[in-house]
Structure 1
Amino acid sequence: MAETGNGADQAPQIQLNVVNQYVRDLSFENILAQKGGQGEVQPDIQVQVNLDAKEREGDNQYEVSIKLNIENRDKENAENKIFLMEIDYAGLFFIAGVPDDQMHPFLLIECPRLLFPFLRRIVSDISRDGGFPPLNLDNIDFMGLYRQEIARRQAEAGQAPVS
Protein backbone atom coordinates (compact mmCIF):
# COMPACT_ATOMS: atom_id res chain seq x y z
CA MET A 1 0.00 0.00 0.00
CA ALA A 2 1.41 3.39 -0.99
CA GLU A 3 1.78 6.08 1.62
CA THR A 4 -0.14 9.26 0.81
CA GLY A 5 1.73 11.56 3.15
CA ASN A 6 0.28 14.42 5.13
CA GLY A 7 -0.66 16.49 2.06
CA ALA A 8 1.77 19.32 2.83
CA ASP A 9 3.30 19.01 -0.64
CA GLN A 10 -0.06 19.15 -2.43
CA ALA A 11 -1.52 22.32 -3.94
CA PRO A 12 -4.21 23.99 -1.83
CA GLN A 13 -7.79 23.11 -2.70
CA ILE A 14 -9.57 25.96 -4.42
CA GLN A 15 -13.08 26.67 -3.25
CA LEU A 16 -15.38 28.68 -5.50
CA ASN A 17 -19.05 29.22 -4.80
CA VAL A 18 -21.43 31.63 -6.48
CA VAL A 19 -23.25 33.21 -3.55
CA ASN A 20 -25.52 35.42 -5.64
CA GLN A 21 -25.81 36.92 -9.10
CA TYR A 22 -27.91 39.87 -10.19
CA VAL A 23 -28.54 42.66 -12.67
CA ARG A 24 -27.12 45.78 -11.07
CA ASP A 25 -28.18 48.13 -13.87
CA LEU A 26 -30.00 47.70 -17.18
CA SER A 27 -30.99 50.10 -19.93
CA PHE A 28 -32.56 49.24 -23.28
CA GLU A 29 -33.54 51.86 -25.82
CA ASN A 30 -35.43 50.92 -28.99
CA ILE A 31 -34.39 53.88 -31.13
CA LEU A 32 -35.82 52.46 -34.36
CA ALA A 33 -39.34 52.35 -32.93
CA GLN A 34 -39.02 55.83 -31.38
CA LYS A 35 -38.12 57.28 -34.78
CA GLY A 36 -40.97 55.42 -36.43
CA GLY A 37 -38.53 53.40 -38.49
CA GLN A 38 -39.80 50.50 -40.48
CA GLY A 39 -38.56 48.22 -43.19
CA GLU A 40 -35.43 46.19 -43.53
CA VAL A 41 -32.21 47.27 -41.88
CA GLN A 42 -28.88 45.49 -41.89
CA PRO A 43 -27.73 45.34 -38.26
CA ASP A 44 -24.16 46.14 -37.30
CA ILE A 45 -23.76 45.19 -33.66
CA GLN A 46 -20.85 46.45 -31.58
CA VAL A 47 -20.27 45.07 -28.09
CA GLN A 48 -17.94 46.67 -25.55
CA VAL A 49 -17.01 44.62 -22.49
CA ASN A 50 -15.71 45.97 -19.20
CA LEU A 51 -14.88 43.87 -16.16
CA ASP A 52 -14.57 44.90 -12.55
CA ALA A 53 -13.79 42.99 -9.37
CA LYS A 54 -13.51 44.01 -5.77
CA GLU A 55 -13.26 42.40 -2.39
CA ARG A 56 -16.42 42.61 -0.28
CA GLU A 57 -16.82 42.73 3.45
CA GLY A 58 -16.85 39.24 4.82
CA ASP A 59 -14.36 36.45 4.63
CA ASN A 60 -13.23 35.54 1.12
CA GLN A 61 -16.13 37.29 -0.66
CA TYR A 62 -15.62 39.10 -3.95
CA GLU A 63 -17.94 40.93 -6.29
CA VAL A 64 -17.27 40.58 -10.02
CA SER A 65 -19.22 42.48 -12.65
CA ILE A 66 -19.47 42.34 -16.42
CA LYS A 67 -20.59 45.56 -18.05
CA LEU A 68 -21.77 45.35 -21.64
CA ASN A 69 -22.45 48.32 -23.88
CA ILE A 70 -24.24 47.03 -26.99
CA GLU A 71 -24.90 49.34 -29.89
CA ASN A 72 -26.84 48.20 -32.94
CA ARG A 73 -26.60 50.47 -35.99
CA ASP A 74 -27.80 50.18 -39.57
CA LYS A 75 -24.94 48.83 -41.72
CA GLU A 76 -26.11 50.92 -44.68
CA ASN A 77 -26.22 54.14 -42.68
CA ALA A 78 -24.10 54.09 -39.51
CA GLU A 79 -25.77 57.30 -38.33
CA ASN A 80 -29.01 55.36 -37.80
CA LYS A 81 -29.00 53.62 -34.45
CA ILE A 82 -31.38 50.69 -34.11
CA PHE A 83 -31.09 49.99 -30.40
CA LEU A 84 -28.79 50.56 -27.43
CA MET A 85 -28.41 48.25 -24.47
CA GLU A 86 -26.30 48.72 -21.38
CA ILE A 87 -26.20 46.05 -18.73
CA ASP A 88 -24.15 45.65 -15.57
CA TYR A 89 -24.39 42.04 -14.39
CA ALA A 90 -22.66 41.06 -11.17
CA GLY A 91 -21.93 38.01 -9.11
CA LEU A 92 -20.93 37.61 -5.50
CA PHE A 93 -18.39 34.81 -5.04
CA PHE A 94 -16.90 32.97 -2.10
CA ILE A 95 -13.31 32.12 -3.06
CA ALA A 96 -10.71 30.37 -0.92
CA GLY A 97 -7.43 28.63 -1.63
CA VAL A 98 -6.33 30.84 -4.52
CA PRO A 99 -2.80 32.21 -4.01
CA ASP A 100 -2.66 36.01 -3.74
CA ASP A 101 -0.57 36.36 -6.90
CA GLN A 102 -3.25 34.47 -8.87
CA MET A 103 -6.35 36.13 -7.40
CA HIS A 104 -6.51 39.04 -9.88
CA PRO A 105 -6.59 36.86 -13.02
CA PHE A 106 -8.87 34.36 -11.26
CA LEU A 107 -11.41 37.11 -10.53
CA LEU A 108 -11.29 38.58 -14.04
CA ILE A 109 -11.18 35.33 -16.03
CA GLU A 110 -12.80 32.44 -14.15
CA CYS A 111 -15.59 34.33 -12.41
CA PRO A 112 -16.86 36.07 -15.59
CA ARG A 113 -16.83 32.67 -17.35
CA LEU A 114 -19.31 31.43 -14.75
CA LEU A 115 -21.54 34.51 -15.07
CA PHE A 116 -21.54 34.81 -18.86
CA PRO A 117 -24.15 32.13 -19.77
CA PHE A 118 -26.70 33.86 -17.53
CA LEU A 119 -25.83 37.29 -18.93
CA ARG A 120 -26.13 35.94 -22.49
CA ARG A 121 -29.65 34.69 -21.78
CA ILE A 122 -30.71 38.05 -20.32
CA VAL A 123 -29.34 39.94 -23.36
CA SER A 124 -31.20 37.57 -25.68
CA ASP A 125 -34.46 37.97 -23.77
CA ILE A 126 -34.21 41.77 -23.55
CA SER A 127 -33.47 42.20 -27.26
CA ARG A 128 -36.35 39.86 -28.14
CA ASP A 129 -38.74 41.58 -25.71
CA GLY A 130 -37.60 44.90 -27.18
CA GLY A 131 -39.00 43.94 -30.57
CA PHE A 132 -35.94 42.47 -32.29
CA PRO A 133 -34.68 38.98 -33.02
CA PRO A 134 -32.92 37.56 -29.96
CA LEU A 135 -29.30 38.74 -29.79
CA ASN A 136 -27.22 35.65 -29.06
CA LEU A 137 -23.81 36.91 -28.00
CA ASP A 138 -20.72 35.03 -29.11
CA ASN A 139 -18.52 33.60 -26.38
CA ILE A 140 -16.20 36.14 -24.85
CA ASP A 141 -12.52 35.25 -24.46
CA PHE A 142 -12.02 36.53 -20.92
CA MET A 143 -8.40 35.35 -20.87
CA GLY A 144 -7.73 37.30 -24.07
CA LEU A 145 -9.39 40.40 -22.60
CA TYR A 146 -7.28 40.05 -19.46
CA ARG A 147 -4.06 39.75 -21.46
CA GLN A 148 -4.99 42.78 -23.61
CA GLU A 149 -5.63 44.86 -20.50
CA ILE A 150 -2.32 43.82 -18.91
CA ALA A 151 -0.48 44.65 -22.15
CA ARG A 152 -2.26 48.02 -22.36
CA ARG A 153 -1.31 48.87 -18.77
CA GLN A 154 2.30 47.84 -19.37
CA ALA A 155 2.45 49.96 -22.53
CA GLU A 156 1.12 52.96 -20.59
CA ALA A 157 3.77 52.40 -17.93
CA GLY A 158 6.46 52.03 -20.61
CA GLN A 159 7.21 48.41 -19.74
CA ALA A 160 7.89 45.59 -22.13
CA PRO A 161 4.98 43.10 -22.32
CA VAL A 162 5.33 39.85 -20.42
CA SER A 163 4.74 36.69 -22.48
Structure 2
Amino acid sequence: MSDQPAPSSPIPNGQPAPPLQLNIQYTKDLSFEVPGAPEIYLSLREQPRVDLSLDVQARQVPGQQPNVFEVSLQIRADAKIKETSCFIAELVYCGVFTLNVPQEHVEPVLLVECPRLLFPFARNILADVTRDGGFPPVMLNPIDFVALWQSRRGQGQQVGTA
Protein backbone atom coordinates (compact mmCIF):
# COMPACT_ATOMS: atom_id res chain seq x y z
CA MET A 1 0.00 0.00 0.00
CA SER A 2 3.00 2.31 0.31
CA ASP A 3 2.88 3.09 -3.42
CA GLN A 4 -0.72 4.35 -3.18
CA PRO A 5 -1.47 7.99 -2.47
CA ALA A 6 -2.76 9.02 0.95
CA PRO A 7 -6.57 8.78 1.06
CA SER A 8 -7.11 12.52 1.40
CA SER A 9 -4.64 13.52 -1.31
CA PRO A 10 -5.54 13.78 -4.98
CA ILE A 11 -5.13 10.61 -7.00
CA PRO A 12 -2.30 10.63 -9.59
CA ASN A 13 -4.35 12.15 -12.42
CA GLY A 14 -5.12 15.19 -10.26
CA GLN A 15 -8.67 14.19 -9.36
CA PRO A 16 -9.75 14.21 -5.71
CA ALA A 17 -9.93 10.86 -3.91
CA PRO A 18 -13.29 9.08 -4.29
CA PRO A 19 -15.66 9.43 -1.33
CA LEU A 20 -15.87 5.64 -0.89
CA GLN A 21 -13.29 3.12 -1.94
CA LEU A 22 -13.59 -0.66 -1.48
CA ASN A 23 -10.01 -1.83 -0.90
CA ILE A 24 -10.69 -5.55 -0.43
CA GLN A 25 -13.57 -7.89 0.38
CA TYR A 26 -13.33 -11.36 1.88
CA THR A 27 -15.00 -14.18 3.76
CA LYS A 28 -13.85 -13.80 7.36
CA ASP A 29 -15.80 -16.75 8.74
CA LEU A 30 -18.02 -19.41 7.19
CA SER A 31 -19.66 -22.30 8.98
CA PHE A 32 -22.14 -24.87 7.68
CA GLU A 33 -23.43 -27.59 9.96
CA VAL A 34 -25.93 -30.41 9.40
CA PRO A 35 -26.42 -31.77 12.92
CA GLY A 36 -28.81 -34.56 11.88
CA ALA A 37 -26.86 -35.93 8.91
CA PRO A 38 -27.31 -38.37 7.28
CA GLU A 39 -30.80 -39.13 8.68
CA ILE A 40 -32.14 -35.65 7.88
CA TYR A 41 -31.52 -36.24 4.17
CA LEU A 42 -33.41 -39.55 4.24
CA SER A 43 -36.43 -38.09 6.03
CA LEU A 44 -36.62 -34.70 4.28
CA ARG A 45 -40.07 -34.48 2.70
CA GLU A 46 -40.72 -30.75 2.72
CA GLN A 47 -38.86 -27.50 2.35
CA PRO A 48 -37.35 -26.44 5.69
CA ARG A 49 -38.36 -23.16 7.35
CA VAL A 50 -35.31 -20.89 7.37
CA ASP A 51 -34.94 -18.28 10.11
CA LEU A 52 -32.51 -15.56 9.13
CA SER A 53 -30.67 -12.98 11.17
CA LEU A 54 -28.43 -10.26 9.81
CA ASP A 55 -26.21 -7.71 11.50
CA VAL A 56 -23.82 -5.06 10.23
CA GLN A 57 -20.76 -4.01 12.19
CA ALA A 58 -18.08 -1.44 11.40
CA ARG A 59 -14.79 -0.63 13.05
CA GLN A 60 -11.68 1.37 12.31
CA VAL A 61 -8.79 -0.79 11.15
CA PRO A 62 -6.01 -0.51 13.74
CA GLY A 63 -2.70 0.78 12.45
CA GLN A 64 -4.26 2.42 9.39
CA GLN A 65 -5.37 5.93 8.56
CA PRO A 66 -8.38 6.99 10.68
CA ASN A 67 -10.63 6.81 7.61
CA VAL A 68 -10.02 3.08 6.91
CA PHE A 69 -12.76 0.78 8.21
CA GLU A 70 -13.68 -2.88 8.20
CA VAL A 71 -17.40 -3.44 7.61
CA SER A 72 -18.82 -6.90 8.27
CA LEU A 73 -22.11 -8.49 7.29
CA GLN A 74 -22.98 -11.23 9.76
CA ILE A 75 -25.64 -13.62 8.50
CA ARG A 76 -27.08 -16.68 10.21
CA ALA A 77 -29.53 -19.09 8.56
CA ASP A 78 -31.13 -21.68 10.83
CA ALA A 79 -33.28 -24.20 8.92
CA LYS A 80 -35.79 -26.47 10.64
CA ILE A 81 -38.67 -28.77 9.90
CA LYS A 82 -40.96 -28.56 12.90
CA GLU A 83 -38.40 -28.66 15.72
CA THR A 84 -35.78 -30.73 13.87
CA SER A 85 -32.71 -28.78 12.81
CA CYS A 86 -31.80 -29.30 9.15
CA PHE A 87 -28.80 -26.99 8.91
CA ILE A 88 -27.13 -23.97 10.45
CA ALA A 89 -25.15 -21.63 8.20
CA GLU A 90 -23.17 -18.70 9.54
CA LEU A 91 -21.28 -16.23 7.38
CA VAL A 92 -19.21 -13.17 8.23
CA TYR A 93 -18.41 -11.35 4.99
CA CYS A 94 -16.23 -8.25 5.22
CA GLY A 95 -14.83 -5.38 3.25
CA VAL A 96 -12.14 -2.84 4.02
CA PHE A 97 -13.19 0.62 2.92
CA THR A 98 -11.48 3.98 2.74
CA LEU A 99 -13.87 6.88 3.33
CA ASN A 100 -13.32 10.46 2.24
CA VAL A 101 -16.58 11.96 3.46
CA PRO A 102 -17.48 14.58 6.08
CA GLN A 103 -17.62 13.19 9.62
CA GLU A 104 -21.43 13.46 9.78
CA HIS A 105 -21.71 11.07 6.81
CA VAL A 106 -19.32 8.39 8.09
CA GLU A 107 -21.91 6.37 10.03
CA PRO A 108 -24.56 6.17 7.27
CA VAL A 109 -21.93 5.35 4.65
CA LEU A 110 -20.46 2.59 6.83
CA LEU A 111 -23.81 1.06 7.81
CA VAL A 112 -25.80 1.62 4.58
CA GLU A 113 -23.61 2.06 1.50
CA CYS A 114 -20.79 -0.31 2.42
CA PRO A 115 -23.05 -3.29 3.29
CA ARG A 116 -25.07 -2.59 0.13
CA LEU A 117 -21.88 -3.18 -1.87
CA LEU A 118 -21.00 -6.37 0.06
CA PHE A 119 -24.50 -7.90 0.12
CA PRO A 120 -24.65 -9.49 -3.38
CA PHE A 121 -21.44 -11.41 -2.71
CA ALA A 122 -22.56 -12.60 0.73
CA ARG A 123 -25.94 -13.61 -0.74
CA ASN A 124 -24.20 -15.71 -3.38
CA ILE A 125 -21.92 -17.44 -0.85
CA LEU A 126 -24.88 -18.36 1.37
CA ALA A 127 -26.86 -19.72 -1.60
CA ASP A 128 -23.88 -21.78 -2.79
CA VAL A 129 -23.02 -23.26 0.61
CA THR A 130 -26.61 -24.32 1.35
CA ARG A 131 -27.02 -25.81 -2.12
CA ASP A 132 -23.65 -27.59 -1.89
CA GLY A 133 -24.75 -28.87 1.54
CA GLY A 134 -27.62 -30.79 -0.10
CA PHE A 135 -30.48 -28.37 0.55
CA PRO A 136 -32.39 -25.87 -1.59
CA PRO A 137 -30.27 -22.72 -1.87
CA VAL A 138 -31.10 -19.96 0.59
CA MET A 139 -31.79 -16.91 -1.56
CA LEU A 140 -31.78 -13.78 0.58
CA ASN A 141 -34.21 -11.07 -0.43
CA PRO A 142 -32.74 -7.60 -0.86
CA ILE A 143 -32.08 -5.88 2.46
CA ASP A 144 -33.18 -2.33 3.22
CA PHE A 145 -29.98 -1.17 4.88
CA VAL A 146 -31.40 2.32 5.43
CA ALA A 147 -34.23 0.86 7.58
CA LEU A 148 -31.74 -1.39 9.40
CA TRP A 149 -29.50 1.59 10.16
CA GLN A 150 -32.46 3.73 11.29
CA SER A 151 -33.72 1.01 13.63
CA ARG A 152 -30.21 0.64 15.05
CA ARG A 153 -30.04 4.41 15.65
CA GLY A 154 -33.42 4.20 17.37
CA GLN A 155 -31.94 1.64 19.76
CA GLY A 156 -29.05 3.99 20.56
CA GLN A 157 -26.28 1.81 19.06
CA GLN A 158 -23.30 3.48 17.45
CA VAL A 159 -20.56 2.37 15.08
CA GLY A 160 -17.99 0.39 17.02
CA THR A 161 -14.38 1.39 16.89
CA ALA A 162 -11.71 -0.95 18.09
Instruction: Give the conservation status (yes or no) of the 8 Å contact 1:64–1:112.
Output: yes
1:106-142 per-position Cα deviation (integer Å, ceiling 9, x unaligned): 1000000000011111011101110112211111111
CA distance in 2, matches of 1:111, 1:20: 12
Q: 1:81 aligns with which of 82, 85, 92?
A: 85
Instruction: Decide which structure has the larger Cα Rg and report it.
Output: 1
Instruction: Give the conservation status (yes or no) of the 8 Å contact 2:68–2:99.
Output: yes
Which residue number in structure 2 is paired with residue 114 of structure 1?
117
Which residue number in structure 2 is paired with residue 53 of structure 1?
58
Partner SS state of residue 37, structure 2? helix
1:64 aligns with 2:71: yes
CA distance in 2, matches of 1:65, 1:39: 33
CA distance in 2, matches of 1:126, 1:150: 32
CA distance in 2, matches of 1:90, 1:143: 18
Partner SS state of residue 118, structure 2? helix
Q: Label 1:46 to 1:39 Cα distance change in 2 as closer, same or farther (>3 A).
A: closer
* CA positional deviation for 1:14: 4.8
Partner SS state of residue 146, structure 1? helix
Partner SS state of residue 48, structure 1? strand
Runs of 4+ in 1 over 6 A off after TM superposition: none
Q: What is the aligned length?
A: 139
* CA positional deviation for 1:49: 0.7
TM-score after normalising by structure 1: 0.78
1:17-67 per-position Cα deviation (integer Å, ceiling 9, x unaligned): 211111111110123424444231232111111111011132221100000
Q: Label 1:82 to 1:27 Cα distance change in 2 as closer, same or farther (>3 A).
A: same
Partner SS state of residue 31, structure 1? coil
Percent identical? 38
CA distance in 1, matches of 2:132, 2:105: 40
Aligned-CA RMSD value: 1.8
In the alignment, structure 2 segments of 5+ residues that lack a partner are 1-15, 158-162
Partner SS state of residue 51, structure 1? strand
1:30 aligns with 2:37: no
CA distance in 2, matches of 1:32, 1:130: 12
One-letter amino acid of the counterpart of residue 73, structure 2:
I
